[in-house]
Chains A and B, each alone.
Chain A
């Protein structure tokens, strides 16, 4: 892991100076607060907008705090992941395409160190982001609906983070393997198409990384089959590790395609 510390510093500096540590958490915070607020004020919003037909009555379901957390995670799963992946999918491929990588690849660094420095920065940004997202969601939920159990919250947070690490590994592996455009397509396919497939035909299996975000919620609700949960976590972690290794391999293999 030669040069790891130095490369890590560089990646952090870059993420910091390009405001990634600010604006991505902000996006997540906005996403997190949107569901508790819109759900709570739905009737007021409808009345204010008008056009509600006379005699129209809406059944507003009685929402539990954990339902709102679930809704927020749903937001992270679509817009949040989109922002995160789109921001980072070029982190290796773009450096190659514009030639910035050249001055690093000709030095005696290890590709493992370079890949991991990027992985760690991206996972730190993600951590801060979902922390902001969860905090915003839980804050408004607790004001408007009631408090969540801290243990349940922690468990769903950690579970969601494990899923995010998987997403990061996929994103970086694609970035190391392909040009930015193809990497984006492949990364999005794996993550989003995977979610859709898992939604449509996912009832036939219970163990999969794509189920992890919803498992976090089930865990918070206390209705989770623990065996499925642990197997899903294990398989996600194993896949993450495999993808990291493939990513490092591909980064090394594609080193010669850097623009000189």
Chain B
């Protein structure tokens, strides 16, 4: 794996307030990274420094082959377009401004609009577009020149469930040959397509790693067994276990022996057993924990 983007000591200070504070991370080529954090954590500020729009107070952003602006595609949270232009005109212009030659730009623009599902609306004026269509157009202008790095600010937050599903699928289709960095506060989305997680809080990078790594760090090491009734649960539980209603939470000290012992106990008992599972923290739970820890 090669490193595409290296961010070192990135800091942005507005007056006395540090919005982004000494952030370091690396984006490997052709990976997807989710930038997660509550509102006001500094996600958008970080992204706009990566696009080069905002000058960092300190630190640097380095991309593999030199010029940042030539190698990125950027989708702002609320992309704004010139309403007088048609979708095709805008996408074609976007491609040409990034150096795609005129003839190829038109072909690429058509292909991209088809890809994002705006094939039928390509000649319509942007003024007539709905929110979901604008978001798709936003994606098409960001990818039409095939940038190495795709920066997306809350790409699906403003969409309804159907639109979100479609856009997520679109992005998954791009994952194979593009490096993607996107910010979100909707954790299910991050869970779905991500190689690396960056947790941002109050401008600081408080946690980072692959989804698996972060999980391991924050997972509760527990089995959960659901019984038919509360009495059964109480009767089954040993003193060290926690009982909540019909559920018994069993602390895992040593994975394999604990599991075997548990399965053995379950197989010989006469209670109604509804469910047995290894508890995995959802990203949301991890998020809350990280937020509390920081």
| Interface check A102, CB cutoff 8 A | yes
Q: Which residues of A contact B97 (CB under 8 A)?
A: 3, 6-7, 104, 107-109
List CB contacts (< 8 Å) of B53-98 with chain A: 53-55, 67, 69-70, 72, 74, 76-82, 84-85, 89, 93-94, 96-98
| Interface check A18, CB cutoff 8 A | yes
Q: Which residues of B contact A17 (CB under 8 A)?
A: 84
Give the residue of A13, A104, A260 whose beta carbon is less than 8 angstroms from that of B84: A13
Do residues A260 and B77 form an inter-chain contact, with CB atoms below 8 A?
Answer: yes
- Interchain nearest-CB distance for B13 vs A (Å): 14
Give the residue of A6, A100, A105 whose beta carbon is less than 8 angstroms from that of B96: A6
Can you name the residue of chain B whose Cβ is closest to the Cβ of A259?
B80
Q: How many angstroms between the C-alpha atoms of A98 and B82 in the bound complex?
A: 10
Mostly, the A contact residues are helix
Which of the 9-residue segments B44-52, B112-120, B210-218 touches chain A?
Answer: B44-52
Do residues B89 and A106 form an inter-chain contact, with CB atoms below 8 A?
Answer: no
Give the residue of A3, A13, A103, A109 whose beta carbon is less than 8 angstroms from that of B76: A103
Q: How many angstroms between the C-alpha atoms of A18 and B77 in the bound complex?
A: 27
Can you name the residue of chain B whose Cβ is closest to the Cβ of A256?
B54
Interface centre among A3, A13, A106 (most CB of B within 10 A): A106
| Interface check B141, CB cutoff 8 A | yes
| Interface check A258, CB cutoff 8 A | yes
Q: Which residues of A contact B69 (CB under 8 A)?
A: 106-108
> Beyond A14-B84, A260-B153, is A106–B52 a contact (Cβ under 8 Å)?
yes
Can you name the residue of chain B whose Cβ is closest to the Cβ of A18?
B84
Do residues B53 and A6 form an inter-chain contact, with CB atoms below 8 A?
Answer: no
Q: How many angstroms between the C-alpha atoms of A14 and B84 in the bound complex?
A: 6
| Interface check B245, CB cutoff 8 A | no
Q: Which residues of B contact A106 (CB under 8 A)?
A: 51-53, 69, 72, 74
Q: Which residues of A contact B78 (CB under 8 A)?
A: 99
Do residues A102 and B80 form an inter-chain contact, with CB atoms below 8 A?
Answer: yes
Q: How many angstroms between the C-alpha atoms of A6 and B44 in the bound complex?
A: 29
| Interface check B99, CB cutoff 8 A | yes
Interface size class of A (residues with CB under 8 A): 20 to 34
Do residues A100 and B67 form an inter-chain contact, with CB atoms below 8 A?
Answer: no
Q: How many angstroms between the C-alpha atoms of A111 and B51 in the bound complex?
A: 16
A3-B96, A100-B81, A106-B69 known; 16 other A-B pairs, CB under 8 Å? A6-B93, A10-B85, A17-B84, A99-B78, A99-B79, A103-B74, A103-B76, A103-B79, A106-B52, A106-B53, A106-B72, A107-B94, A256-B54, A259-B80, A260-B76, A260-B153
Q: How many angstroms between the C-alpha atoms of A255 and B52 in the bound complex?
A: 10
Encode A101-129 as 1/0 by CB contact (under 8 A) with B: 01111111100000000000000000000
Interface centre among A17, A105, A107, A259 (most CB of B within 10 A): A107
Do residues A99 and B80 form an inter-chain contact, with CB atoms below 8 A?
Answer: yes
Do residues A103 and B85 form an inter-chain contact, with CB atoms below 8 A?
Answer: no
Do residues A103 and B77 form an inter-chain contact, with CB atoms below 8 A?
Answer: no
Q: Which residues of A contact B76 (CB under 8 A)?
A: 99, 102-103, 260
12 CB contacts below 8 A, A to B, read: A6-B93, A6-B97, A102-B79, A102-B80, A104-B97, A105-B53, A106-B53, A106-B74, A107-B97, A107-B98, A256-B55, A258-B53
Q: How many angstroms between the C-alpha atoms of A7 and B76 in the bound complex?
A: 21
Do residues B81 and A103 form an inter-chain contact, with CB atoms below 8 A?
Answer: yes
Q: Which residues of A contact B153 (CB under 8 A)?
A: 260
Q: Which residues of B contact A14 (CB under 8 A)?
A: 82, 84-85
- Interchain nearest-CB distance for B113 vs A (Å): 16
Q: Which residues of B contact A10 (CB under 8 A)?
A: 82, 85, 93
Do residues B48 and A13 form an inter-chain contact, with CB atoms below 8 A?
Answer: no
List CB contacts (< 8 Å) of B107-139 with chain A: none
Q: How many angstroms between the C-alpha atoms of A171 and B76 in the bound complex?
A: 29
- Interchain nearest-CB distance for B56 vs A (Å): 11
Q: How many angstroms between the C-alpha atoms of A102 and B153 in the bound complex?
A: 13
